[in-house]
Amino acid sequence: MKKIIFSIVSVFIIFSTNIGYAQQDSIKTKKILPRPPIYGIPAKTLPQGKFIYRSYFTFTNYSQMYSATKEKMIDLPSGMDFQNYSYTPKLRYGLTKRFTLIANFPLYYKQLENGTIKKKGVGFGDAIVAGLYKFYFNKKKHFLISGLLFSKYPTGKTNKLKSDELPLGSGTYDFGVAILPEKEFGKLDVRFSAFYLLRGENNQKVDLGNLQSYSISTAYNFSKNFIAETSILYKSTTDNQLNGKKITDSNTYLSQIIIGAQYRLAPTFLLQTAVPITLSSKIPFSSNYDVWFGIFYLM
């Protein structure tokens, strides 16, 4: 918890010193080109008829696991290696100027080795369909609030797995809502999100518990083409159940600081990268950090 508080305070101190400069810069800059968020869902909706193709590649090398006997995260046992690669195309379409449709279709390659045991998981993960609605916008103050309706579908293989296969999804239908306020200070953006997800029960009668997620992000244009971003993320699950009964000591949490940057190759085409660094966790498997690369293209 001390790490989380220290990180949040640090981010605010660093970027609050830039607000004055950002306001001065905005006077000199006639037009600031779009700066889409690197991590998370943007509050800004698309203009009607506009289309975004965004995709990213993620690499995760798990280094820790939760030990129920020790009641804490421990290093993976010697000889165990667990890696995850994913590629996620993300599509967005402006149905109206206030409402944007979102669809994600992740692809996974997972590999777990532990001595003589070798398991893999290759294929589609769980598909996501969401709707983003901008219900408040103050153009003069550059402030807006959007709401998100979220749904996830069990398209990733979880049933009838072979002995050498890893699951590619949760096997549940999940539905959630989020509120997304965003404020601009010239070249500086400040964003916040609060997200709640209702998770269903899979075929093994496991309910992974409802998820709460909170994040605050700042993005700054150091130049027309270079944008830096920092986010603080905290998420947790509660009331995990098996056969309708709560599983003891099954609640989870994860806190991360996410450092990212993007470079504009063309007015609406950007290369993006981010490194989520884990501050604290209590989840089945955790990594010290992930590596994330992506592209953003507005058509």
pLDDT, one tens digit per residue, over 6-61 is 444 444 444 334 433 343 333 343 444 667 888 777 899 999 999 999 999 999 99
- In whole angstroms, what is the distance from residue 120 CA to residue 60 CA? 15
For residue 237, give its domain range.
2-298
pLDDT, one tens digit per residue, over 231-258 is 999 999 887 767 667 777 778 999 999 9
- In whole angstroms, what is the distance from residue 21 CA to residue 293 CA? 29
Residue type, 274: A
Q: Tell the residue number behind the tokens 């869902």, with chain if given.
A: 41
Residue type, 264: R
What pLDDT is attached to residue 241?
66
CATH number for the domain including 141? Answer: 2.40.160.40
- What global pTM score does this model have? 0.83
Structural contact between residues 50 and 94, judged by C-beta atoms closer than 8 angstroms? yes
Q: What's the 3-state SS for 219-252?
A: EEECCCCEEEEEEEEEEEEECCEECCEECCCCCE
Question: DSSP string spanning 192-210?
Answer: EEEEEEE--B-TTSEE--E
C-alpha dist (Å) from residue 296 to 57, 248, 266 = 12, 43, 10
Q: What's the 3-state SS for 2-27?
A: HHHHHHHHHHHHHHHHHHHHHHHHHH
* Count of domains forming the chain: 1
